[in-house]
């Protein structure tokens, strides 16, 4: 909703009711929202080609040409506009646009233009085919070559140029923005002022200024996070008063498992039990790749507490995942004939059911409690809590333990993480926590089989998916966009993909779609339906990257795989391979290049998340910041893309956080009063608190 203290975007010239509604679809309501709406990528346009030797199929290139004949339009279900000619270097061109017949009258004969588009092919007679090229005047293209051009996430009806104009107008209306950091700190870290960093994110003069702007905004995020963590987490060690003398049930379950624990799981459990028997209450980070068996480690840790008469809490990141954990834990209890109960507390548990659940919790000496943290941290019925386990995707920290401590409880805390963070960074980001890494996977998990294919293999991929569905399994399809607003034929989007699948596989195929513009309730409902096998295929954006565990899903096809980051591709692949059946991942490379880029070769040849993370770091380089999270991202956790390459920046933010907190007059000094006010707000994060 619009902040009453911040001007609405309607105050900007050219934004009426209809345009405002389009911006609202992108969660943009006021001037700060506009300034906070970062480009998703940047184009750096290169000089037009000067010879045939420079031309390469499968990439976008520019050509300078004088139009000497009008374009032609072939009408049909799809209108095709074709323009032929010879550029100034004698290169034969044939340019094709879909559903853009107006170009016939706007491309004037006798005028020169620069055409920038995807080179589809070079024919035997030397004719170069360009698809959907952008058209610029020579003067405009000279300007485009000088500055990196931001490309924004869009919605249908809103152009990239319209967003750029609105953002520029917002900066002019806002004027100079106050910085919350003192000049001496900016000078020490060689960081640009906030106003300049924000402006350069949208309109950088060059790549160096863009990099500096991103570093400043990442620094903001890391500094806020570390300050909040250091202030919220008590530095005092609490004496361990838990008595864990019983372990018969625990040992029986460990020895009765259908598959032996991996060495990594054994090490994790050994570390946790050692914590339980130590002199003080501790916090531990369990790092493990997708599918490494962290949930079983969590259950066994909780079992040891429950067996000894303590309550054990598990925080799930979503309502759907909390229900899934309930099913998993109930199955463990049934399979191993354990005399304990599992209670679910989330927003779906209301009225009499909620009252019954709270009564069980109150009366039980030892019980498993599963839910979302909002409900658990607000509950008043807890006594004798021995352990709190949480997922990093819900909160990159230990706030829920503090919430329980505020109620007079001092439980052990375990954080489960699938993000492969270098140990030096983990020690900073999880200050005061013990760390265990699970490097192997359970033997009952078959390695995922990978296939890197091009669009010519899409039909065969559909046939393979159909075969898996007939065998009783389910499939995912991942698209990079909700909508294909640029109408690029080589880009897949969620909104049209359902019809594409119906056409290829028949109307009887059951397809659900999922994307980030849906409400949390809608997303949870769709994921629950997929989990309950009410659909054969789920078509989704990357919102599924961290989501429900569906053991019955055996195929994931990632369209436009070239558009995703390496670690993100690995996280997406982790949606399959959750059960005992053989699973498959199909990476669809739509780049048109003869040879796949290195990241696709790496991801298709290995399932090892830590290896992939290291390769990602090598590929990107220590200073290469590939993007910034959008302001609409309400999560407070950092992705691997945020962390890799930013070690020095994180260390600097950690040093500065310590310095600020040790300042003799604390955060109330004039120097940091603005920062103090910001930290008292409920939300901090990238681009917030302008």
Please tell me the least confidently modeled range out of 11-20, 393-402, 625-634: 625-634
pLDDT mean across residues, the chain: 84
Average pLDDT over every residue of 608-634: 52
pLDDT, residue 163, reads: 95
Ranking 192-206, 242-256, 514-528, 664-678 by mean pLDDT, the lowest is: 664-678
- pLDDT of 590 over the 60 cut: yes
With a pLDDT cut of 70, the percent of the chain lying above it is 84
In tens, the pLDDT along 223-281 reads: 887 887 776 655 567 899 998 999 999 999 999 998 899 999 999 999 999 999 999 99
User: 618 pLDDT band (50/70/90 cuts)?
Assistant: low
DSSP symbol at 681: S
User: In terms of Cα–Cα distance, which of 91, 96, 95, 94 is closest to 53?
Assistant: 91
> Where do you find CATH 3.40.50.300 in the chain?
248-438, 449-606
The span from the CA of 288 to the CA of 301, in Å, is 16
Q: Are 269 and 297 in contact (CB under 8 A)?
A: yes
In the predicted model, is pLDDT for residue 68 greater than 50?
A: yes
What confidence score (pLDDT) does residue 409 get?
Answer: 73
Helices (H), ranges, 481-556: 494-505, 520-531
Q: Does residue 686 have a pLDDT over 60? A: no
C-alpha–C-alpha distance, residues 377 and 394, integer Å: 13
What is the reported pLDDT for 177? Answer: 82
For 145, the token pair is: 């070559």
> Closest Cα to residue 565, out of 514, 493, 613, 497?
613
Span 193-204, average pLDDT: 93
Phi-psi region of 487 (alpha: psi -120 to 50; beta: other; left: phi over 0): left
Q: Which of 159-163, 226-230, 545-549, 658-662 has the lowest mean pLDDT?
A: 545-549
**pLDDT exceeding 90 applies to what percent of the chain?**
45
In tens, the pLDDT along 576-585 reads 988 889 999 9
What the block records as the tokens of 427 is 């020690």
The one-character DSSP state at 115 is E
Alpha-carbon gap, residue 555 to 543, rounded angstroms: 17
How confident is the model at residue 643, as a pLDDT?
64
251's tokens: 């040992």
Question: In this predicted structure, what is the pLDDT of residue 3?
Answer: 47
Alpha helix positions (H), 37-137: 103-106
Closest by Cα among 543, 539, 533, 568 to 556: 539
Q: How far apart are CA 212 and CA 209, in angstroms?
A: 5
Q: Across the strands, what pairs with 456?
A: none
Give the C-alpha distances (Å, rounded to integers) separating 403 from 274, 305, 349, 400, 590: 25, 20, 21, 5, 48
3-state secondary structure 575-608: CCCCCCCCCEEEEECCCCCCCCCHHHHHHHHCCC
Give 98-111 pLDDT, tens digit per residue: 989 999 999 999 99
Judged by average pLDDT, the poorest of 50-54, 73-77, 663-667 is 663-667
Best CA proximity match to 437, nearest among 266, 555, 671: 266
H helix runs in 336-398, sequence order: 351-363, 373-378
Count of CB atoms within 10 A of residue 464's CB?
A: 17
Quick one: tokens of 322?
């909390």
Topology, domain 45-147: OB fold (Dihydrolipoamide Acetyltransferase, E2P) (2.40.50)
Residue 50 backbone dihedrals phi, psi, to 5 degrees: -115, -5
- pLDDT at position 386: 92
Task: With cut-offs at 50, 70 and 90, classify the pLDDT of residue 172.
Answer: very high
pTM > 0.75: yes or no = no
pLDDT for position 677: 58
- d(C-alpha 120, C-alpha 592), whole Å: 8
Q: State the average pLDDT over residues 306-324.
A: 87
Cβ neighbours around 418 below 10 Å, total: 21
Q: Say yes or no to pLDDT of 406 above 80.
A: no
Task: Evaluate if residue 509 carries a pLDDT over 90.
Answer: yes
- pLDDT tops 90 at residue 607: no
Residue whose tokens read 């750029």: 164
Among residues 175, 212, 178, the alpha carbon closest in space to that of 192 is found at 212
Domain 449-606: homologous superfamily in CATH = P-loop containing nucleotide triphosphate hydrolases (3.40.50.300)
What is the edge-to-edge ordering of all strands in the sheet holding 60-66? 60-66, 112-122, 127-136, 92-98, 80-86, 72-74
Q: What is the pLDDT of residues 429-445, one digit of tens each?
A: 777 788 898 988 887 77
- pLDDT band for position 371 (cuts 50, 70, 90): confident
Cβ neighbours, 10 Å, residue 103: 16
Alpha carbons 612 and 450: distance in angstroms, whole number: 14
Mean pLDDT of 155-171: 92
For the domain with range 248-438, which CATH number is right: 3.40.630.30, 3.40.50.300, 2.40.50.140, 3.10.450.50?
Answer: 3.40.50.300
Give the largest CA-CA distance in the chain: 91
The ranges of the chain annotated as CATH 2.40.50.140 are 45-147
Task: State the pLDDT at residue 307.
Answer: 96
Rounded Cα gap, residues 379 and 5, in angstroms:
34
* Cα 592 to Cα 50: distance, rounded to the nearest angstrom: 22
- Beta partners for residue 390, in sequence order: 415
Distance CA 181, CA 187 (A): 10
Task: Classify residue 129 by burial, with Cβ atoms within 10 Å: 0-12, 13-18, 19+.
Answer: middle
4 has a pLDDT exceeding 50 = no
The per-residue pLDDT for 576 is 92
Cα separation of 507 and 498, whole Å?
A: 10
């Amino acid at each position: 909703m619009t902040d009453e203290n911040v001007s609405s975007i309607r105050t900007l010239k050219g934004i009426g009711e209809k345009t405002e509604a389009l911006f609202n679809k992108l969660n943009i309501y006021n001037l700060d929202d506009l300034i906070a709406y970062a480009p998703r990528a940047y184009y750096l346009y290169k000089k037009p080609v000067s010879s045939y030797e420079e031309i390469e199929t499968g990439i976008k290139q520019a050509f300078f040409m004088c139009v000497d004949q009008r374009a032609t339009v072939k009408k049909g279900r799809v209108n095709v506009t074709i323009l032929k000619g010879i550029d100034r270097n004698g290169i034969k061109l044939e340019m094709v646009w879909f559903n853009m017949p107006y170009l016939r009258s706007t491309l004037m004969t006798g005028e020169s233009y620069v055409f920038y588009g995807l080179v589809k092919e070079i024919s035997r007679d030397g004719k170069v085919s360009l698809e959907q090229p952008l058209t610029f005047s020579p003067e405009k293209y000279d300007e485009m070559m000088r500055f990196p051009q931001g490309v924004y996430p869009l919605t249908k009806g809103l152009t990239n140029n319209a967003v750029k104009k609105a953002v520029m107008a917002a900066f002019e209306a806002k004027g100079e923005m106050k910085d919350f950091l003192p000049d001496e700190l900016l000078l020490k870290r060689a960081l640009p002022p906030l106003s300049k960093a924000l402006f350069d994110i949208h309109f950088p003069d060059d790549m160096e200024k863009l990099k500096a702007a991103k570093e400043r905004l990442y620094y903001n995020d890391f500094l806020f996070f570390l300050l909040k963590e250091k202030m919220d987490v008590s530095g005092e060690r609490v004496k361990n008063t838990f008595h864990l003398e019983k372990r018969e049930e625990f040992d029986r379950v460990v020895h009765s498992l259908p598959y032996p624990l991996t060495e990594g799981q054994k090490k994790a459990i050994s570390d946790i039990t050692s914590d339980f028997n130590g002199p003080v209450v501790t916090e531990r980070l369990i790092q493990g790749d997708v599918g490494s068996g962290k949930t079983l480690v969590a259950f066994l840790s909780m079992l040891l507490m429950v067996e000894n008469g303590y309550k054990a809490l598990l925080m799930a990141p979503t309502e759907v995942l909390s229900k899934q954990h309930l099913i998993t834990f109930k199955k463990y209890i049934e399979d191993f004939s354990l005399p304990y109960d599992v209670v679910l507390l989330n927003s779906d548990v209301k009225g009499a059911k909620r009252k019954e659940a709270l009564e069980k919790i109150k009366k039980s000496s030892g019980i498993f409690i599963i839910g979302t943290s909002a409900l658990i941290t607000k509950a008043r019925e807890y006594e004798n809590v021995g352990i709190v386990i949480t997922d990093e995707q819900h909160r990159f920290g230990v706030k829920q333990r503090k919430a329980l401590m505020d109620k007079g409880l001092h439980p052990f805390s375990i954080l489960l993480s699938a993000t492969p963070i270098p140990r030096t960074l983990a020690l900073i980001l999880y200050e005061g926590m013990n760390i265990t890494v699970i490097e192997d996977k359970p033997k009952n998990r078959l390695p995922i089989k990978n296939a890197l294919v091009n669009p010519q293999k899409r039909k065969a991929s559909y046939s393979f998916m159909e075969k898996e569905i007939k065998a009783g399994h389910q499939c995912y399809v991942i698209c990079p966009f909700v909508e294909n607003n640029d109408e690029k034929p080589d880009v897949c989007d969620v909104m049209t993909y359902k019809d594409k699948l119906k056409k290829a596989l028949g109307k009887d195929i059951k397809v659900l779609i999922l994307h980030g513009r849906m409400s949390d309730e809608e997303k949870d409902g769709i994921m629950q339906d997929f989990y309950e096998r009410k659909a054969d295929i789920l078509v989704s954006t990357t919102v599924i990257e961290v989501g429900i565990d569906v053991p019955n899903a055996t195929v994931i096809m990632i369209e436009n795989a070239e558009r995703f980051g390496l670690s993100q591709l690995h996280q997406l692949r982790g949606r399959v391979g959750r059960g005992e059946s053989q699973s498959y991942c199909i990476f669809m490379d739509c780049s048109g290049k003869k040879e796949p880029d290195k990241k696709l070769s790496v991801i298709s040849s290995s399932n090892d998340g830590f290896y992939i993370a290291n390769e990602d770091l090598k590929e990107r380089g220590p200073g290469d910041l590939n993007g910034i999270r959008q302001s609409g991202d309400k999560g407070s956790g950092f992705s691997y893309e945020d962390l890799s390459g930013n070690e020095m920046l994180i260390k600097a933010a950690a040093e500065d956080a310590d310095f600020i907190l040790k300042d003799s007059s604390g955060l109330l000094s004039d120097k940091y009063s603005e920062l103090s006010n910001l930290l008292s707000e409920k939300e901090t994060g990238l681009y917030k608190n302008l």
